[in-house]
């Protein structure tokens, strides 16, 4: 029935059918991935080769690691625009130390420490100073770009020790990229934290209703602080793996536009920009979907600007799906 009491219109029927299907987003995404793999395997040359599949998974890990961090943040209706630039800036700073010392462990720790420091600034600003997440993370994004450009002067930081590549980029048993295994292991650990711990339960309570959670004894300030630190740490891990794969670090590692892929992966996976929702499994699958799109466009030699248009349309679609899910939830 529509609002006037008559039979539902065609648009209403389609909308209701779509929202019903969105109730199990992960199942829909898995089906989408399977169908996409079959279709592109038939129509796109070299798509189903072993080398390209592993390359696709490496691309998914580059998107997925910061997307895991963003999932925690989105659950509280927050945001972190600085994730990709944090990844690049931290990698540049850490690789500069690694270049000078030729010490892989020291360089990796420096990358992670720098990324966490940016996360701490974001978390303190949002949790304690009550700053708007989008504004403060935009400021850190600008800071990251400024530091990166100033230090590199448009070049990249190379001359890294061979052990750095061997540990973090060489294929395990000559087949499986280490970055993919680290991505999957990280996703599993963060899934356990989100679903099996008190912190995870308190995080969802904060995202659903922060004031009510505070009344119920949840330290919402701590929750908000920690999730931005987690986001920074995820950006740091991605920075380590990407720098090892490229055997260098530069500003092109984490362009501002990379945030589009990250947030699309989260929302496609069921997270909501309105807060209160999100799963690591969904984000992992969403990352694979975004990697498939990028990979296919590269294989087809699609113009760079066309790729931007397509991804812009995907963002609009993803936002609309998020609206539909929240309308269904409000019924």
Does residue 8 fall inside a structural domain? no
Does residue 6 fall inside a structural domain? no
Q: CA–CA separation, 245 vs 157, rounded Å?
A: 13
Does residue 19 fall inside a structural domain? no
Burial 26-35 (b: 16+ CB within 10 A, else e): eebbbebeee
Can you tell me which residue has the tokens 């029927």?
13
CA of residue 308 relative to chain centroid, distance: 18
Q: List the CATH number of the domain containing 60.
A: 1.10.3470
Q: CA–CA separation, 63 vs 72, rounded Å?
A: 15
* pTM flag (> 0.85): yes
Number of domains in the chain: 1
Q: Which H helix or E strand runs over 18?
A: helix 10-21
Q: At what angle do helices 133-152 and 104-127 cross, to 10 degrees?
A: 150
Per-residue model confidence as pLDDT tens for the chain (331 residues): 454 555 555 566 555 555 555 456 667 778 878 888 898 889 888 888 888 898 999 999 999 999 999 999 999 999 999 999 999 999 999 999 999 999 999 999 999 999 999 999 999 999 999 999 999 999 999 999 999 999 998 899 999 999 999 999 888 877 788 999 999 999 999 999 999 999 999 999 999 999 999 999 999 999 999 999 999 999 999 999 999 999 999 998 988 889 989 998 998 888 888 888 899 999 999 999 899 988 998 888 888 788 888 878 877 887 787 777 677 655 4
φ and ψ at residue 249, rounded to 5 degrees: -130, 135
CB-count exposure of residue 301 (10 Å: 0-12, 13-18, 19+) = exposed
Does residue 97 fall inside a structural domain? yes
What tokens appear for 194 in the block?
Answer: 């989100």
Q: What residue numbers bound the domain in which 248 lies?
A: 24-329
Does residue 313 fall inside a structural domain? yes
Q: CA–CA separation, 227 vs 72, rounded Å?
A: 6
Does residue 166 fall inside a structural domain? yes
Does residue 75 fall inside a structural domain? yes
């Amino acid at each position: 029935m529509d609002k006037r009491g008559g039979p539902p219109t065609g648009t209403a029927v389609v909308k209701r059918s779509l929202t019903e299907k969105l109730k199990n987003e992960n199942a829909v995404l898995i089906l989408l991935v399977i169908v996409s793999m079959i279709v592109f395997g038939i129509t796109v040359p070299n798509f189903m080769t072993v080398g390209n599949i592993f390359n696709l998974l490496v691309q998914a890990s580059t998107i997925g690691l910061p997307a895991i961090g963003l999932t925690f943040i989105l659950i509280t209706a927050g945001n972190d625009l600085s994730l990709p630039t944090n990844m690049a800036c931290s990698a540049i700073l850490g690789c500069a130390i690694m270049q000078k010392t030729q010490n892989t462990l020291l360089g990796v720790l420096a990358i992670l420490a720098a990324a966490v420091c940016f996360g701490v600034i974001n978390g303190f600003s949002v949790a304690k100073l009550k700053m708007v997440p989008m504004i403060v993370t935009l400021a850190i994004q600008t800071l990251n770009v400024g530091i990166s450009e100033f230090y590199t002067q448009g070049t990249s930081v190379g001359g890294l020790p061979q052990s750095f590549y061997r540990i973090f980029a060489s294929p395990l048993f000559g087949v499986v990229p280490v970055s993919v295994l680290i991505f999957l292991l990280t996703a599993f650990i963060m899934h356990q934290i989100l679903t099996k711990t008190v912190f995870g339960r308190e995080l969802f309570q904060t995202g659903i209703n922060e004031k009510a959670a505070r009344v119920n004894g949840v330290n919402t300030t701590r929750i908000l602080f920690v999730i931005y630190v987690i986001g920074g740490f995820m950006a740091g891990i991605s920075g380590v793996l990407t720098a090892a794969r490229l055997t260098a670090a530069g500003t092109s590692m984490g362009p501002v536009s990379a945030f589009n892929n990250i947030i699309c992966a989260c929302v496609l996976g069921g997270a909501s920009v309105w807060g209160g929702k999100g799963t690591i499994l969904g984000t992992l699958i969403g990352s694979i979907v975004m990697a498939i799109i990028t990979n296919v466009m590269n294989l087809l030699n699609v113009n760079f600007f066309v790729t931007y248009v397509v991804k812009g349309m995907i963002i609009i679609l993803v936002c609309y799906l998020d609206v539909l899910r929240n309308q269904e939830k409000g019924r």
